[in-house]
Amino acid sequence: MENFKEELLTSLTKYVQIESGSEFDKETCPSTPGQLELAKVLEQDLRNIGIKEVSIDENGYLFATIPANIDRKVPVIGFLAHMDTYPGFTIGRKVMPQVHKNYQGGDIIVSKKHNVIISPKNCPALNSVIGHDIITSSGDTLLGTDDKGGIVIIMALAKYLMEHPEVKHGKIRIAFTPDEEIGKGSDKFNVKAFGADFAYTLDGQCGEGIVYENFNAAGITIDITGVLAHTGYAKGVMQNPVRIASDIVAAWPETMLPETTSGYEGFVCFNDLKADFEKATLKAAVRDFTKKGLEEKINLVKEIVAKVQKKYPTATLKVEVKQQYQNMAEVIEKNPKIVELARKAFKDNGLKPSGEPIRGGTDGARLSFMGLATPNIDAGYSTPHGPFEWASLDLMNKIVHALITIVQDNIK
């Protein structure tokens, strides 16, 4: 069995050096120039391995084709990964990967200077990678395997198939997309131009396997306009937006928070507050695996706001709800062969075939409702979005083999 570990490490080291963190509140697509820089590097690397059909559109989406090497028509498979990394811990910083060979359990000291230690106590997934080569950052940045891990796995697949024409397969489409981390990865994705019958995003965490259940998601914005008054003479007059917003947050049930829920339990997370004596804007993320559960939580927020409004009758409270994405299970369950194909490939290559539902969302969730059924596949990384991020090169190696199996089994 071919070993892709060295190739994966070389590619990953190269790509994480390119700063491609996305940025919130930017109207451009991609939101940062580094993503386009990475796209151009990937375009050249794809051409260097012999792929001729490669393009980057005006929005920074890279599409490529590995031509079929069989005569008969079979479904076209797509593989996707996003080029941006989480913006909260990487902007303007260079990632310096380091490899911890043959991990034998216990703590991994990523950085003594920054006191970054990865442990099975706070990252149980480490217990499943004993004997693996583990890659981390140097401790002062995130690693970026979310989702450059997915990128290098797809690149290894592409290189292998181009170098081994004896491995028969149908047409394969590749997409590297921008701005997933800021919730815009599918905004300008041209499903028709991509032309796949189904696809997989390579964006799952270590041990997740093939996942096709994710949250239904909505965002709530509560705008509060208070009543100004001199603080020395405020009795019976002042309606303080800072206090009003605090009352709303405090009224939310403790059992429905991100830090108190797991599995299939939904939550509301108050995640942004800007407030002064005149106005306040409070934002919240609402998540649930069922549409009914999502609606119930939205309604509960509205009920709390209505009660708080009665307490502050001369203030003005407005609630705006924006639907964000849906649970892809609604689409994927109508196309069970897509999941069965990947599960068999994972089992055949010694990988866990399925895991817990995604307590979040992926590009695949939105793409599935745009007409491209797209479950999510493990990309070998864990604990993303911060200095504790790590990835297993051994696991990534096995995932490359699983993708090879998928494309072969697709023609049977």
pLDDT band at 92 (very low <50, low <70, confident <90, very high): very low
Q: Which of 19, 45, 84, 179 is catalytic?
A: 84
Q: What is the mean pLDDT of residues 138-166?
A: 95
Q: What is the mean pLDDT of residues 107-135?
A: 92
The yes-or-no verdict on residue 90 having pLDDT over 60 is no
pLDDT (tens digit per residue) in 10-39 = 999 999 999 999 998 898 999 999 999 999
- Give the chain's mean pLDDT: 94
The residue type of 293 is: G
Q: Which of 325, 352, 375 is the last residue of a domain?
A: 325
What's the predicted TM-score (pTM) here? 0.88
From residue 334, alpha-carbon distances to 62, 202, 266, 354 in Å are 29, 21, 24, 18
Q: Is-contact 19 92, C-beta < 8 A?
A: yes
- The sign of the torsion formed by the CA atoms of 20, 183, 178, 336 equals positive
CATH number at residue 54: 3.40.630.10
Q: Is 147 a catalytic residue?
A: no
Distance of CA 139 to the CA centre of its chain: 21
Q: What is the mean pLDDT of residues 181-200?
A: 94
pLDDT for res 25: 84
- Same-domain pairing of 259 and 352: no
pLDDT (tens digit per residue) in 286-313 = 999 999 999 999 999 999 999 999 999 9
Q: Which of 298, 325, 352 is the last residue of a domain?
A: 325
Quote the percentage of the chain above a pLDDT of 90: 86
- Residue 358 is given by DSSP the state B
- Same-domain pairing of 32 and 140: yes
- Same-domain pairing of 57 and 175: yes
Closest CA relative to residue 31, chosen from 19, 41, 15, 42: 19
In the chain, the number of structural domains is 2
- Same-domain pairing of 290 and 384: no
The yes-or-no verdict on residue 239 having pLDDT over 50 is yes
pLDDT (tens digit per residue) in 381-402 = 999 988 999 999 999 999 999 9
Residues 6+ apart with CB under 8 A from 308: 244, 247, 248, 251, 317
> What range defines the domain where residue 226 resides?
216-325
- Same-domain pairing of 139 and 261: no
At CA 129, angle to CA 128 and CA 133, rounded to 5?
175
Q: Which of 19, 45, 147, 180 is catalytic?
A: 180
Cα–Cα distance measured from residue 38 to residue 41, given in angstroms and rounded to the nearest whole number: 5
Q: Is 180 a catalytic residue?
A: yes
- Same-domain pairing of 31 and 150: yes
- Same-domain pairing of 206 and 305: no
- Same-domain pairing of 375 and 305: no
The yes-or-no verdict on residue 95 having pLDDT over 50 is yes
Cα–Cα distance measured from residue 224 to residue 320, given in angstroms and rounded to the nearest whole number: 12
Cα–Cα distance measured from residue 77 to residue 65, given in angstroms and rounded to the nearest whole number: 10
pLDDT band at 248 (very low <50, low <70, confident <90, very high): very high
Cα–Cα distance measured from residue 311 to residue 410, given in angstroms and rounded to the nearest whole number: 62
- Same-domain pairing of 182 and 306: no
Q: Which of 279, 302, 325 is the last residue of a domain?
A: 325
Q: What is the CA radius of gyration of the chain?
A: 23
pLDDT for res 81: 97
